[in-house]
């Protein structure tokens, strides 16, 4: 981490877990444990938990995020949620292009780009997820895959808007599998992403972007990952559902 130049962010991605009452209880457990955090603390929660979560996070240092948003302001998009709806209730962050959405729900770089631009236009901070599949890593094309995603997902995003973008590098083979990328692998790709941003924008703009690692990050491996210069935080799935584990990762980000 390089906290003097960019914001360290530990974000929980709760996925399809926790009902509203469970969300309230979990946030009440997390809040006192992370109150002295030396990093931004975010919980990205299911849509129906958002209102309760925002209420529960009031007066704490926890920020609330959604797990997706649509690009249109309104209209005939059954089952979708607009950025205006999220903004009105006080959502600050939104996860976009998570690999589960790409794998199971037909999300493409084009739709990731549209959602990202809509989020930025609404004043939300998108956490844009990129990462290679296992066979892509085995074929030695991680660099091309991730560079392509960054280029397409951030197409037409201005340098000014980039200040509100968070990138999450999540190797798909490490998500929910218990297989964490080594700290070296995480650092290597996070640095590649930053180099790619420097080419698309410039060095200074790239240096300021928060790039998280995600994929089986937990209380045991967080320190090692967060010690790396280009790893500016984490997007945490499984471990974000257990208050002590999530708080331990926040503590690691505070230390490093």
Give whichever of 82 and 174 is closer to ligand PGA, judged by the CB atom. 174
Give whichever of 111 and 215 is closer to ligand PGA, judged by the CB atom. 215
Residues 46-75 within binding reach of ligand PGA (CB under 6 A): none
Bridge partners (DSSP) listed for residue 8: none
Query: Are the C-beta atoms of 146 and 193 separated by less than 8 Å?
Result: yes
97 interacts with ligand PGA by CB under 6 A: no
Give whichever of 65 and 237 is closer to ligand PGA, judged by the CB atom. 237
Dist. CA 223–CA 195, nearest whole Å: 24
Q: How far is CA 8 from CA 41, 149, 204, 256, in A?
A: 9, 22, 17, 10
Residue 235, both tokens? 């997007």
Give whichever of 6 and 98 is closer to ligand PGA, judged by the CB atom. 98
For 5, residues 6+ apart whose C-beta sits below 8 A from its C-beta are 207, 208
Give whichever of 66 and 82 is closer to ligand PGA, judged by the CB atom. 66
Of 66-74, 142-150, 210-218, 245-253, which part binds ligand PGA (CB under 6 A)?
210-218
Q: How far is the CB of 239 from ligand PGA (least distance, A)?
A: 6
The active-site residue, picked from 132, 136, 170, 187, is: 170
By CB under 6 A, name the one of 1, 9, 13, 39 that touches ligand PGA. Answer: 13
Q: How far is the CB of 117 from ligand PGA (least distance, A)?
A: 22
Q: How far is CA 248 from CA 35, 113, 218, 244, in A?
A: 12, 33, 8, 6
126 interacts with ligand PGA by CB under 6 A: no
Q: How far is the CB of 75 from ligand PGA (least distance, A)?
A: 29
By CB under 6 A, name the one of 120, 214, 230, 250 that touches ligand PGA. Answer: 214
Neighbours of 214 (CB within 10 A): 28
176 interacts with ligand PGA by CB under 6 A: yes
The active-site residue, picked from 40, 67, 92, 98, is: 98
What residue ranges in 39-111 does DSSP mark as E strands?
40-44, 62-66, 93-96
Q: How far is CA 255 from CA 9, 36, 45, 86, 152, in A?
A: 13, 11, 26, 32, 34
Query: Are the C-beta atoms of 84 and 94 separated by less than 8 Å?
Result: no
Residues 228-247 within binding reach of ligand PGA (CB under 6 A): 235-239
Write down the residue that tokens 């999300």 correspond to: 107
175 interacts with ligand PGA by CB under 6 A: yes
Residue nearest to ligand PGA (CB): 237
| Nearest Cα to Cα of residue 85 among 63, 70, 104, 105 | 70
170 catalytic? Reply is: yes
- Residues noted as catalytic: 98, 170
> What is the contact surface with ligand PGA in residues (CB under 6 A)?
13, 170, 175-176, 214-217, 235-239
């Amino acid at each position: 981490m390089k906290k003097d130049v960019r914001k360290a962010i530990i974000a929980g991605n709760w996925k399809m877990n926790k009902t509203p009452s469970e969300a309230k209880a979990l946030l009440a457990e997390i809040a006192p444990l992370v109150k002295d955090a030396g990093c931004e603390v975010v919980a990205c929660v299911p849509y129906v938990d958002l209102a309760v979560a925002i209420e529960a996070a009031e007066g704490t240092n926890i920020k609330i995020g959604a797990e997706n948003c649509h690009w249109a302001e309104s209209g005939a998009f059954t089952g979708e949620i607009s950025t205006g709806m999220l903004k009105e209730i006080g959502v600050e962050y939104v996860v976009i292009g998570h690999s589960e959405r790409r794998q199971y729900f037909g999300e493409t770089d084009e739709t990731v780009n549209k959602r990202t631009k809509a989020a930025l236009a609404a004043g939300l901070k998108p956490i844009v997820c990129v990462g290679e599949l296992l066979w892509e890593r085995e074929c030695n094309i991680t660099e091309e895959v991730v560079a392509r995603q960054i280029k397409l997902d951030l197409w037409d995003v201005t340098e000014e808007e980039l200040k509100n973008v968070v990138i999450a590098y999540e190797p798909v083979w490490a998500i929910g599998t218990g297989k964490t990328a080594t700290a070296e692998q995480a650092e290597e790709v996070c640095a590649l992403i930053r180099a790619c941003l420097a080419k698309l924008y410039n060095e200074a703009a790239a240096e300021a972007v928060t790039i998280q690692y995600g994929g089986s990050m937990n209380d045991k491996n967080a320190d090692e990952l967060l010690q790396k210069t280009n790893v500016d935080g984490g997007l945490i799935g499984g471990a974000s559902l257990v208050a002590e584990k999530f708080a331990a990762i926040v503590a690691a980000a505070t230390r490093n």
